[in-house]
Amino acid sequence: MEHVAACGICCDVCGLNEKLGCVCSSGTEDIAKEKVNTEWGGKGVLCLVLDCAVRRGIAHCMRDCNEFPCQKYYEWQFPYGKDYLEMHKQRNKQEKPNRP
């Protein structure tokens, strides 16, 4: 299985992961708390999305958090832009279609 970060990005196809060697994780993996406490893999950058997911005890914001997209995503514009967040918000209000 591919590694998917708390924000929903598949880290296996992320150029930053390839370039910087960051270790991705969901918000519920054991390594996530360690990463948040040591400033995201020792790179001196704190992933605010991962920090929030760890504090809330959720694996993936998009799937597990009832508040997604929250104000933090709109403020940070990371990793998704406003148009994508609005589309997700609108589609999330729709009923699940009945499919055979």
Digits of tens for pLDDT over the chain (100 positions)?
A: 478 888 888 888 888 778 877 667 899 998 888 888 776 555 555 678 888 999 999 999 999 999 999 998 998 887 899 999 999 999 988 887 777 6
Tokens of 50: 């991962």
Give, as one character, the DSSP assignment of residue 96: P
**Predicted TM-score (pTM) of this structure:** 0.76
Tokens of 53: 């997911």
Q: Are 27 and 54 in contact (CB under 8 A)?
A: yes
